[in-house]
Amino acid sequence: MSLRVPLSAVRSFEAAARRRSFKAAAAELNLTASAVSHAIRKMEEALGVALFERAGQGVALTAAGEALLEHVGRAFEELHRGLDLVAARGPQLLRLHCAPSFAAQWLTPRLARFLADHPGFEVRLAAGMDYARFTTDEFDADIVYGPPRGEGLVVVPLCTETVTPLCDPVRAARIRAPEDLLTHVLIQSDNKLVRWPLWFAQNDLPAPRPLGVRFDRSFLAIAAAADGLGVALESTLLAEREIASGRLVAPLRGLARDVTYVGHHLVFPAGNRPRAPLRTFARWLAGELGIDPEMAELS
């Protein structure tokens, strides 16, 4: 027996079942909630069973709906795999959102090598403090700074970062102990999770009154410190190029207690298997950061 159920209606059902909301499904599919509701009602009429029932502000699957979702989910997964396989034979587009300083200081300098190692790849990179919402399918993933926000996300912690005072070599020659920082200009980073008061507390010293220069991005603070403006409290991961070139040094490494933390995370929507370009990028990212290669499988 052949049932006349359009694929578009099945897609509406799958999205609504996964998100437990017609409204959320409509936003994901770029439809109206009434269009999703109408498609599912027609599908229920064709099947002769109810697939959803109201549950508070959202919807819940009936037993028939749960049974159908199990098969539909596997079918869409297989469909995505087939599409990825075909897409792998042509140009592949990675749509990535990223925290500004990670994009400027760490990722962008490596993109040339990534693209050279992956012919046919295209990368569309956007940087901003606002997290990607993934509701319009504009991005495949986001590299966020700080605790990830939002529901329905897979969160992959990236490497542990070390935060330490950094400055130019001339200034560094005058810094021999943590107390010496009290006589230098301390560059403030307003949006950092690890700031000067925490570092001074870690080293059993009272934090001085915040004076001098303030920035809202780490890449600005790093550039200012390299230009001799003062001492920045920044991640050695983000400042690795300046450290490698000798423009920045860490005068108190081994002489003070630094702060370590996981500052960045790779996040992407849960529910569907990640697209092939994201899986390829994740494997490369894990290799570059020297972290557990199993994260690259995004399982």
State the amino acid at position 288 in one-letter form: E
DSSP 3-state of 292: coil
43 confidence band (pLDDT: 50, 70, 90): very high
Mean pLDDT within 257-263 = 94
- Report CA dihedral (108, 112, 114, 120) to the nearest 10 degrees: 120
Give the C-alpha separation, 29 to 16, whole Å.
10
What's the pLDDT tens digit per position in 279-293? 899 999 999 998 876
Structure tokens at 199: 């570092």
Mean pLDDT within 21-38 = 91
Residues whose CB falls within 8 Å of the CB of residue 151, separated by 6 or more in sequence, listed in order? none
Mean pLDDT within 37-49 = 91
Q: Are strands 153-157 and 186-189 parallel, antiparallel or unpaired?
A: unpaired
Give the C-alpha separation, 64 to 67, whole Å.
5
Per-residue model confidence (pLDDT) at position 84: 66
Nearest to 256 by CA among 297, 218, 199, 211: 199
In the predicted model, is pLDDT for residue 1 greater than 50? no
What's the pLDDT tens digit per position in 169-187? 999 999 999 999 999 999 9
134 confidence band (pLDDT: 50, 70, 90): confident
Give the C-alpha separation, 233 to 215, whole Å.
12
In the predicted model, is pLDDT for residue 231 greater than 60? yes
Give the C-alpha separation, 196 to 16, whole Å.
47
DSSP one-letter code for 50: -
Q: How many CB atoms neighbour CB 284 within 10 A? A: 17
Residues whose CB falls within 8 Å of the CB of residue 74, separated by 6 or more in sequence, listed in order? none
In the predicted model, is pLDDT for residue 118 greater than 50? yes
Give the C-alpha separation, 38 to 145, whole Å.
40
State the amino acid at position 64 in one-letter form: A
